[in-house]
Structure 1
Amino acid sequence: MLLVRVLLLLPLLLLLPLAALWQPRSQDASRLAWLRSLQHRVAWGILGWAAAWQQWRLERSTQRVGQSQQQALRWCLWGAQRPHCPLAGDTDPSTFRNCLPLTTVSQPQEEESGGQLLAPTTSQYCGEAFLQATLLGLAALKRAHPEVLAPGSSACVTPTSPWPSPLPWPVHVLGHVSSPGTRDPKALLLEVLRCPELRVLEARTAVELLDVFLVLEADGEELAKAVAAGNPGVALPSRAADLQEALQQGPRGLALRLWPKLQVVVTLDSGGQTEARAALGALWCEGLAFFSPAYAASGGVMGLNLWPEQPPGLYLLPPGAPFIELLPVKEEADSTILLDEAQEGMTYELVLTDRSTLTRCRLGEVVQVVGAYNECPVVRFVCRLGQALSVRGEDIGEDVFSEALGRAVGQWPGAKLLDHVCVESSILDSSEGSAPHYEVFIELRGLRNLSEENRDKLDHCLQEASPRYKSLRFWGSVGPARVHLMGRGAFRAFRAALTASSCSLFPPEMPRVLRHRHLAQFLQRRVVS
């Protein structure tokens, strides 16, 4: 692996000093443009070669899934740090599963993690898996949209890139307008606003991109004035006027008004991003394609996206490290299967082996198999078990609640859902002698107040979605869901508080059910209706 990285770096290391020597000696713009074009072609040639190598390896591994998973298991066993590991490095998957039980997260641990299931750390799965996801994602994006990766056509508006392994060394050669790193998000946005030629807009996750557009709406006048004054860089009064005109026309289609050549929005998919992506697609990024190079969960890359031209949400579960098993959800099974045994249409929970402690950890990530790539399953991530609501054992999953909320919002004239979070009433001690219920905090666009009739529609939709919930509501064991409308920017502030109060995850999953009382109270203080 080290040799591959050296080979990738060597031609660029030779070209970049050449650019440094050439530039002071020549003021010929055409020569400089030619050199930049040459660097760009060389960089893409190297990346294309590396991506082709990764594609070849992926084809081999997905055609021999059993052998690939055996190698992944061997990698886990060799890295185990248990002093008395009972298993040898050549243990087969069947013996491995019989010897080690499945583990789940205790409730105290879950609460400490903000309601998310704890799992293996990021450092175990960096490197090869992250690099593979990045190279294959870049190659797939280039095939689907050849024009979007021209020099100066890409920009990232968040300090961290959506690419799992961001390959910092060719960023300038590939012509990125902005360089992701530890920088002020508003300064990044200001830099990107100066460039009307963008074709690709990048952000680490959809919720972070949503926050960027909310900041742009709130501070657009200030940002336009900074562009006009040349802070930073050269003054661009004409561009500033275009920005002001675009902002005055409202949120719908704003991205294309700001950057008329924009084609693709790239974000990294993870838990809790669906609502933000839907809001972006319906408003600010209307008319644009969305692409995620991978699905990241519990600190690692769980799925690869090889199909930018397909609707978002399809991922290949790769058979390499880490070692992944599938636990059937519907059958209440305690026995897992391997990737090549997955059946189309079935839903499974992902089980990941923690290499450092040699434990088989249930991630809480539920996938549905929708197809196959060679012998490997192609899946759609459905929900997270740790984000289910249950005040009387009704167990309403994340996907069921989101679908019911979407139907309810669809009945509110003019409303667009931007964000939501749920809290069980016991967390806030809000039952006050009444039956336990759900407290639902939402942020909308297009509706400033909610009537009681509109609030009741959510409860009706939940009853239609869940017979168990309907029965509990009929007998009075569960009270009606209470809907609270949040002020503009409340969820942006909430995410900042969430980041400050919890451990750093890659990527930052967005919780939809809160277990922390102080975070629930944070939202409660920002209710406007």
Structure 2
Amino acid sequence: MLLLLVLLFLLLLLPLPLARLQQQSQLPRLSWLASLQHRVAWGSLCWAAAWQQWRLEQNTLHVAQSQQRALRWCLKGAQGSRCPLRGSTDMSTFRNHLPLTKASQAQEEESGEQLLPPTSKQHHGEASLQATLLGLAALNKVYPEVLAPGGTARLTPTSPWPRPVPWPWHALSKVSPPGAKDPGTLLLEALRSPGLRALEAGTAAELLDIFSGLEVKGKELAEAIAAGNPGAPLPRRAAELREALEQGPRGLALRLWPKLQVVVTLDAGGQAEALAALEALWCQGLAFFSPAYVASGGVVGLNLWPEQPGGLYLLPPGAPLIELLPVKEGGQEEAATTVLLAEAQKDKEYELVLTDHTSLTRCRLGDVVRVVGAYNQCPVVRFICRLSQTLSVRGEDIGEDMFSEVLGQAVEQWPGAKLLDHVCVESSILDSSGGSAPHYEVFVALRGLRNLSEENRDKLDHCLQVAAPCYKSLRFRGSVGPARVHLVGTGAFGALREALAASPSSPFPPEMPRVLRHRHLAQLLQRRVVS
């Protein structure tokens, strides 16, 4: 068996990479070698995915033992004075002796050392490899043509696969040039290939920026394709691009790539709005698939169901250790005692608590999930909201999910408008109260509406009062002022995402905030207000 694996590995390292073989396809022998390389690569991945599937079955059938092993891994890896527990211990002792810590608290030590949340360094761990392998297998089962030679192109420098496996990856006939980091180069290469069946992007928000920019730079890209920069001139393909762009954004992806079936992005906090905009406009009629849900840079949920809309994720029982903190109804303070994966109840909501070996901190991530089913003894969940993205200028606590729903209701009342993106800022961050009552500053990116009337702006505040009685009471007493809505120009949110990604502590994928806490980020959008 070992000899066979070595032979397979050597075949994958053939000196002629796939891209070169395709360029010289006039030679039958080289084309045969390319086909062999692809088959061996995919066969190897299928074997690895089958092994990971078997392990997942065993771990989810015996959850208690799996989580105990994860605990031993955490205890073994923890070092120094941060580890009050020594050696092996049981789950009950661990939970009784280590207090829960919020992510913001976990970032500062008495020594002043800055720490990232527990999973920020887990992006290349076993969970990410498992998510990649099982995600590829699941995607191939539902869309078998996607991974055929030349079937997939990536449009962003970052990949939606949590851990792209290096040795067979380039043999799976990606259209994207290996190692390309420039989004313009990636998009241009994809546009030259009309037969694509799948698009990949790091996150839905990044893909939204790509399609928004495509409308702006479409003429320039068409000229490059016609002139053969790079590659051979393709005047007919350039004409197709111009014609597709002239018909507007709705359904643009399928006009550019008629055989397209699915879009693969990596799910993380704050991506739902970009995903909804893509589904309604540029990617209308296409399926979306995320192989994993990532929080603070680490994989916390596996998606085994590409055919299911809305993102269903299995919480795996391996490392890092996952606990669930019940969320009480009404948004009040959460219960003090966590439950383990096998104890989760259907239709209940929980906040994720993660522990890894770097700090041995039981960290409350703030990500809230709702249990919708079970896979063996493990819960299957939907991600609902992030507690860290709560608005509160007078203790009213307007959650991320509620505000996004209310804003959507308001935008539906703005004739012709389609919401693309938004963030909120409490007025104290921008010092914008000016002696008036504290309030919300809301920045929105729209399609179909260039100016906001005062009537339109007032509709958001009215919808908030209807949805949140506490907010209505504060508004009636004058303790909170009316929400102020600002329309920003094209590219404003792309610039915000670039600023977020540039932070040294930013994980990948960077979660899209819906409430900005830093003044320089809020001012970045403030400078781009057009109405």
Task: Work out whether the TM-score is over 0.5.
Answer: yes
Residue equivalent to 2:279? 281
Give secondary structure in 1 for the equivalent of 2:401.
helix
Provide the rounded CA distance (Å) in 1 between the counterparts of 2:104 and 2:120.
20
Kept in 1: contact 2:82–2:359 (CA 8 A) = no
Provide the rounded CA distance (Å) in 2 between the counterparts of 1:200 and 1:106.
38
Residue equivalent to 1:507? 509
Give 1:490 deviation, angstroms: 1.3
CA 343–15 in structure 1, closer or farther in 2 if over 3 Å, else same: closer
Q: Give the alignment's Cα RMSD to 1 decimal.
A: 2.3
Residue equivalent to 2:349? 347
CA 297–20 in structure 1, closer or farther in 2 if over 3 Å, else same: closer
CA 245–305 in structure 1, closer or farther in 2 if over 3 Å, else same: same
AA aligned to 1:505 is P
Residue equivalent to 1:17? 14
Q: Which runs of 5+ in 2 are unaligned?
A: 109-114
Give 1:147 deviation, angstroms: 1.3
AA aligned to 2:45 is L
Residue equivalent to 1:249? 247
Give 1:290 deviation, angstroms: 0.1
Kept in 2: contact 1:317–1:379 (CA 8 A) = yes
Provide the rounded CA distance (Å) in 1 between the counterparts of 2:480 and 2:124.
45
Provide the rounded CA distance (Å) in 1 between the counterparts of 2:160 and 2:300.
15
Encode CA deviations 1:382-441: one digit per residue, 9 max, x unaligned. Answer: 111111100000111111100111111111111110100100000011111111110000
Kept in 1: contact 2:268–2:293 (CA 8 A) = yes
Encode CA deviations 1:91-121: one digit per residue, 9 max, x unaligned. Answer: 11111000111112447969xxxxxx95125
Provide the rounded CA distance (Å) in 1 between the counterparts of 2:451 and 2:82.
62
Give 1:503 deviation, angstroms: 2.3
Give 1:33 deviation, angstroms: 3.0
Kept in 1: contact 2:277–2:420 (CA 8 A) = yes
Q: Describe how 1:60-99 pairs up with structure 2 within 5 A.
A: 60-83=58-81, 85-99=83-97
Higher mean alpha-carbon deviation, 51-60 vs 325-334, is at 325-334
Give 1:234 deviation, angstroms: 0.8
Residue equivalent to 1:316? 314
1:357 maps to 2:359: yes
Kept in 2: contact 1:315–1:379 (CA 8 A) = yes
Provide the rounded CA distance (Å) in 2 between the counterparts of 1:85 and 1:445.
52
Residue equivalent to 1:56? 54
Kept in 1: contact 2:106–2:361 (CA 8 A) = no
Q: Describe how 1:368-383 pairs up with structure 2 within 5 A.
A: 368-383=370-385
1:484 maps to 2:482: no
Kept in 1: contact 2:325–2:338 (CA 8 A) = yes
CA 12–246 in structure 1, closer or farther in 2 if over 3 Å, else same: farther
Give secondary structure in 2 for the equivalent of 1:215.
helix
Provide the rounded CA distance (Å) in 2 between the counterparts of 1:526 and 1:109.
32
Residue number among 402, 407, 410 corresponding to 2:409 in the alignment: 407
Residue equivalent to 1:395? 397
CA 316–84 in structure 1, closer or farther in 2 if over 3 Å, else same: closer
Give secondary structure in 2 for the equivalent of 1:68.
helix
Give 1:356 deviation, angstroms: 1.6
Q: Describe how 1:137-216 pairs up with structure 2 within 5 A.
A: 137-179=135-177, 181=179, 183-216=181-214
Provide the rounded CA distance (Å) in 1 between the counterparts of 2:122 and 2:161.
18
Kept in 2: contact 1:423–1:520 (CA 8 A) = yes
1:460 maps to 2:458: no
CA 141–9 in structure 1, closer or farther in 2 if over 3 Å, else same: farther
Residue equivalent to 2:261? 263
AA aligned to 2:153 is A
CA 270–493 in structure 1, closer or farther in 2 if over 3 Å, else same: same
AA aligned to 1:439 is E
AA aligned to 1:447 is L
Q: Describe how 1:216-255 pairs up with structure 2 within 5 A.
A: 216-255=214-253
Kept in 1: contact 2:341–2:378 (CA 8 A) = yes
Provide the rounded CA distance (Å) in 2 between the counterparts of 1:71 and 1:97.
15
Kept in 2: contact 1:328–1:347 (CA 8 A) = yes
Give 1:75 deviation, angstroms: 0.4
Residue equivalent to 2:120? 122
Give secondary structure in 2 for the equivalent of 1:173.
helix
AA aligned to 1:14 is L
Provide the rounded CA distance (Å) in 2 between the counterparts of 1:411 and 1:179.
44
Give 1:333 deviation, angstroms: 0.9
Kept in 1: contact 2:225–2:235 (CA 8 A) = yes
Kept in 2: contact 1:118–1:363 (CA 8 A) = no
AA aligned to 2:14 is P
Give 1:493 deviation, angstroms: 1.7
Provide the rounded CA distance (Å) in 2 between the counterparts of 1:249 and 1:84.
60
Give secondary structure in 2 for the equivalent of 1:377.
strand
Kept in 1: contact 2:12–2:41 (CA 8 A) = no
Residue equivalent to 1:113? none
CA 247–389 in structure 1, closer or farther in 2 if over 3 Å, else same: same
Give secondary structure in 2 for the equivalent of 1:195.
coil
AA aligned to 2:226 is A
Give secondary structure in 2 for the equivalent of 1:48.
helix
Provide the rounded CA distance (Å) in 2 between the counterparts of 1:296 and 1:8.
32
Residue number among 31, 38, 41 corresponding to 2:39 in the alignment: 41
Provide the rounded CA distance (Å) in 2 between the counterparts of 1:27 and 1:374.
48
AA aligned to 2:368 is V
Give 1:299 deviation, angstroms: 1.9
Provide the rounded CA distance (Å) in 2 between the counterparts of 1:396 and 1:243.
44
Kept in 2: contact 1:12–1:39 (CA 8 A) = no
AA aligned to 1:480 is P
Give 1:461 deviation, angstroms: 1.4
Residue equivalent to 1:385? 387
Kept in 2: contact 1:369–1:379 (CA 8 A) = yes
Q: Which runs of 5+ in 1 are unaligned?
A: 111-116
Higher mean alpha-carbon deviation, 168-177 vs 43-52, is at 168-177
Give 1:29 deviation, angstroms: 3.8
AA aligned to 2:478 is G
Provide the rounded CA distance (Å) in 2 between the counterparts of 1:15 and 1:521.
50
Provide the rounded CA distance (Å) in 2 between the counterparts of 1:248 and 1:238.
16
Provide the rounded CA distance (Å) in 1 between the counterparts of 2:311 and 2:277.
16
Provide the rounded CA distance (Å) in 2 between the counterparts of 1:308 and 1:264.
9
Kept in 1: contact 2:157–2:180 (CA 8 A) = yes
Higher mean alpha-carbon deviation, 181-190 vs 145-154, is at 181-190
**Matched residues, percent identical?**
75
Give secondary structure in 1 for the equivalent of 2:40.
helix
Provide the rounded CA distance (Å) in 1 between the counterparts of 2:427 and 2:12.
62
Provide the rounded CA distance (Å) in 2 between the counterparts of 1:195 and 1:152.
8
Provide the rounded CA distance (Å) in 1 between the counterparts of 2:80 and 2:225.
58
Encode CA deviations 1:59-105: one digit per residue, 9 max, x unaligned. Answer: 11011110100000010000011247442443111110001111124
Provide the rounded CA distance (Å) in 1 between the counterparts of 2:179 and 2:471.
46
Provide the rounded CA distance (Å) in 2 between the counterparts of 1:77 and 1:359.
11
AA aligned to 1:143 is K
Residue equivalent to 1:272? 270
Provide the rounded CA distance (Å) in 2 between the counterparts of 1:206 and 1:504.
17
Q: How many residues align?
A: 519
AA aligned to 1:186 is G
Encode CA deviations 1:485-508: one digit per residue, 9 max, x unaligned. Answer: 111111112222222345231211
Residue equivalent to 1:430? 432
AA aligned to 2:8 is P
